[in-house]
Amino acid sequence: MKRLITFLLIGIIILAGCGQSTEKKSNKSSTQKDTLNISAAASLTDVTKELEQAFNKQHDKVAINFNYGGSGSLRQQIEKGAPSDVFMSANIKDVKILADKDKAHNTYNYAQNELVLIGNSKTDKQDLSQLKNDEKVAIGEPNSVPAGKYAQQFLKDQNLYDNVKPHLVYAKDVRQVLNYVTKGNAQFGYVYQTDLAQHKKNGQTDVKELGKATLKTPITYQAATVSNKKEAKAWMKFLKTKEAKEILEKYDFKV
């Protein structure tokens, strides 16, 4: 009889433990969020924060991690296996390189931008035709930063590249170009219109636009999924919505 009572007590304890374990597991699953890793061009730093807020209104169980940088550098990271579900590039070229390797799918041209020449707010120059020996021009690294490649090509098209080349300083992304000019490490620089607009909205008056770089082909931003996560496809679907387009326009992107 004692032995029977002992077995019954052990069974009750085991069942109670299983119930607690199931309850804990249930509580954990109700609060746990799915992660969406997005590799985004540096020029998207500001707008993606608002895009994230809008997306989470419909997908509140998704936690988004952004990795910002030059599009070429981000593409190389993805090729090497860095965790990424969506690639938001500032060009088409780097997405196509991944697509050709079957590493990018569901491509979508979500925005366009413009390239502008900026300078110190006190400069009286309107172009780069007559630079002083000590004056520097900042551009993104052409091999990894689309804005740098666009700037390089524009200077060549205008027959200015050979004269400007000795004055060039290179940056890891377009935001660093803006920072160089802001801090006086360079007197001039080529940045996206959206970066300059956001700089002004933040109350900064230390740089000004000197002129637009008229390119032969428009600057097109392309995105793609680089994983099979349902959250990645949901983000791409969201980018096509009226709400997402209005947010992009708010930050001076063309859609």
Q: How many CB atoms lie within 10 A of CB 140?
A: 32
Virtual torsion, Cα 196, 220, 159, 142, nearest 10 deg: 80
Q: How many CB atoms lie within 10 A of CB 249?
A: 13
Location of structure tokens 């392309």: 222
Largest CA distance in the chain: 105
Q: Which residues are annotated as a binding site for molybdate?
A: 43, 71, 147, 174, 192
Contacts of 107 (CB under 8 A, 6+ apart): 95, 99, 222, 223, 224
Q: Which residues are annotated as a binding site?
A: 43, 71, 147, 174, 192
Element (H, E) at 25: helix 2-31
DSSP string, 154-176: HHHHTT-HHHHGGGEEEESSHHH
Burial 75-87 (b: 16+ CB within 10 A, else e): bebbeeeeebbbb
List the 34-41 sheet strands across, edge first: 62-69, 34-41, 86-88, 219-225, 105-113
